[in-house]
Structures are given as structure tokens and as C-alpha cells.
Amino acid sequence: MITPQLREAQQRLARHLGDQLLAIHLYGSAVAGGLKPGSDLDLLVTVAQPLEDARRQALMRALLDVSAPPASDPDVRALEVTVLVRTDIHPWRYPARRELQFGEWLRESLLAGDVEPAMTDPDLAILLTKARQHSLTLLGPPAAEWFAPVPPADLERALRDTLAQWNTPEDWQGDELTVVLALARIWYSLATGEIAAKHVAAEWLLPRLPPIHRPLLADARAAYLGDTRQHLADWPERVNAFVLYCKAHIPA
């Protein structure tokens, strides 16, 4: 049941953002494809102005209290909260600028008081496209009205910019499951022009892979669905080979 956690997150956002808060949209697995055991609750939050440092720090600390590492608490999911300034995304431009991003992968640095500054983020093209396709409005207008359409060329640029981040084993070590499934989604999207849930993209890609790489992706898909324990970290050579194969064969 995610309603209590969402309500608490909304309350903290409202408390710390005040009259700067313009819109909140829930997107991702919660509204498209169904929540899986380790799925995050994904929120896009739009504000009117950039955040002062003190407000940024306080909001991050407040969100830590209503989030938990993936699959660590049966009643609390990991939150991923992306805060956008309205004028940074409307009118649309690429790459767009994000004001703030909260996620469980940042917990250790946030507890140490290290908060990232605002920055351009190619991934916003993907997030906003997903939100326009499938989202639940918690505050403000529907996402399809609130966010401008992302041109297909910018979506493709974002997918390829994401792909370019992964070059050596250090780039995916400790995050093997996320990267393997993200590669399946990128391949699916570049081949079809659509965005699919992680397990759907993996199922689509499986028969298109050489037999040697299929067991790894099948295991990643099963782990994402909660059918088995994740083993990918135990197979570094197989993960490395899979990532390099995808990078070499995803359509240009």
C-alpha cells in the first residue's frame, strides 16, 4: 500500500517548498507496468523558482525519513524525486536542467551533508516522456498538459547519452541489475520508438540476443520481478560481456 507513504512525501514537499510548489506527478512503475518488489516511487515535482541552499538541504533530509533502500522495508519503498523549475523545462530545450534529485543511491552522501547542485540532465527527456505517457497527477494539471512534448530526436539523444555513460566495469559495478535492464530498455526504445517497462523490454530483447547472453538477461528480469535473488554481482565477466555486446550492437 503506497498511499500513506505518498501522502507523507507530499506533506513534506509542501512543507519545505511552500508557495514555490506548482505540481507533483507520480510516474514510473506505480502507474505503468506495476510496482515490483524493488521498484521505486517516482515523483516529478515542479517549482516556480530555484531553491535556496538551506531549503535544498532541509528537503533532502526530510525525504530521507520517508524513503528506504529498495526491498529493505515491507512498508516503505525507495523514493526517487526529481525537482524541476518550471522555466527550465517550459519551453522545452535539450538538455534540460534539473533543480534537485533525491534517490536512495544518494543516502550516504546526503547523510554526510553532501547535496548535488542543480545541473543539466539528458535523462529528463526520458522522464518527461514517460510522465506524459503514464502518470498520476497529485497536484497541478495533468502531465500531458503541464509538460511540453519531447521531440523524438531529443529522446533518441537522451537514450544515446545515457548509453555513453557505461564504458568500463567501474561504471556498472554495484549497479549491475539497473544497468542490464536499462540497456534492454534503451535497445527497445531505439528500435521501436516506444518506452516499455523494464521486464517488458527484457522479454522483447531476449530472443534477439545470442544464446550466450540470454541467461544473464533472463536472470535480471526474474530478479526484477521478484522471482529469484539477484546474482548479477557474482558474474562480473558475464555482465561485462553483456554490456559491451549491447553497446556494440544497439542500432546506430
User: Starting from the edge strand earliest in sequence, which strands make up the sheet with 100-102, in order?
Assistant: 100-102, 79-85, 41-47, 21-27, 135-139
DSSP letter (8 states) at residue 46 = E
Q: How far apart are CA 51 and CA 84, in angstroms?
A: 10
Tell me if 120 sits within 8 A of 96, measured CB to CB.
yes
Active-site residue, 145 included: no
Pairing of strands 21-27, 41-47: antiparallel
Catalytic residue among 80, 99, 104, 176: 80
Tell me if 103 sits within 8 A of 82, measured CB to CB.
no
Tell me if 104 sits within 8 A of 69, measured CB to CB.
yes
Q: How far apart are CA 133 and CA 83, in angstroms?
A: 19
Length of the chain in terms of residues written: 252
Q: What is the residue type of 192?
A: T
Instruction: Name the residues annotated as catalytic.
Output: 80
